[in-house]
């Protein structure tokens, strides 16, 4: 079992990593790292290009490419899932919206959403599509466009569809890889508002972002990842006011004093 004395919260973590590391062939991409997500919490991992953010999410989701190898401890709701294949992890509620979104372009919005419940269907659940109304309530735009082919959606709509599809699997932990990538500022605001609403609905979110400012605003806890290692972590507000983060990630030249942040 993981160490339950999580810095993030007093509740036992829904997701715990202990000494997780990843290599691609012989090249290390992630140094052994520890990370916790408490139930209903938004945890963000910020860091520059190539830091290993996507590698981290793919390793947690069991979705590393063929040359990637993960080792170390990974617990979901207290259960050791480190050797589980991706199918089983998704089934247990660990869902990843990858950087590439991976929508089925020729299929319409409604069918893409239903595909998100496919694994629940295969497991023989009585109502695998029962999240559809909730997803349409969260994203009214998807309801309006339910008959439209995914390939013809705008960037923001595609991101909503990718998140909506993951929600159809009823995730315990939703992992989002750069959901704001390539989107206009107004749409970015909408996407982060959705993250806040998911948190209110009790979904724990692990959010990887280069948009540090927006991510730190919605998150409870933050990790800074640099060249495969955690260089800083703490409550999101404390990380946002840390001078190193201010100068490097928030474009601040005379940052406020830091508080409560651990190197």
Ligand X SMILES: Nc1ncnc2c1ncn2[C@@H]1O[C@H](COP(=O)(O)OP(=O)(O)OP(=O)(O)O)[C@@H](O)[C@H]1O
Q: Which residues bind Mg ion (CB under 5 A)?
A: 53-54
Asked whether position 251 contacts ligand X by CB under 6 A, the answer is no
Residue 210 partner contact from Mg ion, ligand X, none using kind-dependent CB cut-offs of 5 to 8 Å: ligand X
Of residues 12 and 68, the one with the C-beta less far from ligand X: 68
* Residue in 256, 252, 218 with CA at minimum distance from that of residue 236: 218
Stretches 46-54, 79-87, 123-131, 185-193: which one binds ligand X (CB under 6 A)? Answer: 46-54
Q: How far is the CB of 156 from ligand X (least distance, A)?
A: 19
Q: 191 is in the binding site of which of Mg ion, ligand X, none (Cβ under 5 to 8 A by kind)?
A: none
Distance from C-alpha of 200 to C-alpha of 141, rounded to nearest angstrom: 20
Q: Work out whether 51 is an interface residue with ligand X (CB under 6 A).
A: yes
Is 100 near ligand X (CB under 6 A)?
Answer: no
Residue 52 binds ligand X (CB under 6 A): yes
Task: Specify the residue, 27 or 257, whose C-beta has the smaller distance to ligand X.
Answer: 27
Is residue 233 a contact point for ligand X (CB under 6 A)?
no
Which is closer to ligand X, CB of 71 or CB of 258?
A: 71
Cα distances from 63 to residues 54, 86, 100, 158, 164, in angstroms, run 10, 6, 13, 21, 19
- x/- mask, ligand X, residues 7-26, rule CB under 6 A, reads -----------------x--
Angle at 224 between CA 40 and CA 7, to 5 degrees: 45
Going by C-alpha positions, the residue among 106, 103, 105, 99 that lies closest to residue 50 is 99
Site residues for ligand X, window 174-213 (CB under 6 A)? 210
Give 57 or 132: the residue with its C-beta nearer to ligand X.
Answer: 57
The set of residues, in sequence order, having a beta carbon less than 8 Å from that of 203 and lying 6+ positions away, is: 40, 167, 171, 172, 173, 174
Chosen residue from 3, 19, 67, 123 binding ligand X by CB under 6 A:
67
> In the complex, what is the shortest distance from the CB of residue 181 to Mg ion, in angstroms, rounded to a whole number?
9
Q: How far is the CB of 248 from ligand X (least distance, A)?
A: 14
CA 26 to chain centre: 27
Using CB under 6 A as the binding rule, whether residue 254 contacts ligand X is answered as: no
Could you say which of ligand X, Mg ion, none residue 227 binds, taking C-beta under 5 to 8 angstroms by partner kind?
none
C-beta closer to Mg ion: residue 41 or 58? 58
- How many Cβ atoms from other residues are within 10 Å of residue 220's Cβ? 19
With respect to Mg ion, which residue has the nearer C-beta, 215 or 261?
A: 215
Contact residues toward ligand X (CB under 6 A) are: 24, 29, 47, 49-55, 65, 67-68, 99, 210
């Amino acid at each position: 079992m993981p160490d339950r004395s999580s810095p993030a919260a007093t509740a036992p973590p829904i997701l715990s990593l202990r000494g997780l590391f990843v290599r691609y062939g012989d090249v290390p991409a992630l140094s052994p790292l520890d990370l916790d997500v408490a139930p209903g919490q938004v945890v963000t991992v910020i860091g520059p290009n190539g830091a290993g953010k996507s590698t981290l999410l793919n390793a947690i989701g069991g979705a590393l490419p063929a040359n990637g190898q993960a080792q170390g401890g990974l617990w979901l709701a207290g259960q050791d899932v480190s050797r589980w294949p991706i199918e089983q992890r998704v089934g247990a509620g660990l869902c990843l919206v990858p950087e590439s979104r991976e929508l089925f372009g020729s299929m319409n919005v409604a069918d893409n959403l239903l595909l998100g419940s496919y694994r629940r269907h295969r497991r023989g659940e009585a109502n695998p599509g029962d999240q559809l109304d909730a997803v349409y309530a969260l994203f009214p735009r998807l309801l309006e466009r339910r008959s439209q082919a995914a390939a013809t959606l705008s960037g923001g709509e595609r991101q909503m569809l990718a998140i909506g599809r993951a929600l159809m699997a009823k995730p315990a932990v939703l992992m989002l890889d750069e959901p704001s990538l390539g989107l206009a500022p107004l749409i970015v605001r909408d996407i982060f508002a959705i993250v806040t609403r998911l948190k209110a609905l009790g979904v724990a979110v692990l959010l990887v972002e280069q948009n540090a400012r927006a991510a730190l605003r919605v998150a409870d806890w933050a990790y800074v990842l640099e060249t495969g290692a955690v260089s800083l972590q703490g409550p999101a507000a404390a990380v946002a006011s840390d001078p190193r983060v201010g100068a490097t990630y928030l474009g601040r030249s005379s940052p406020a004093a830091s508080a409560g942040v651990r190197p």
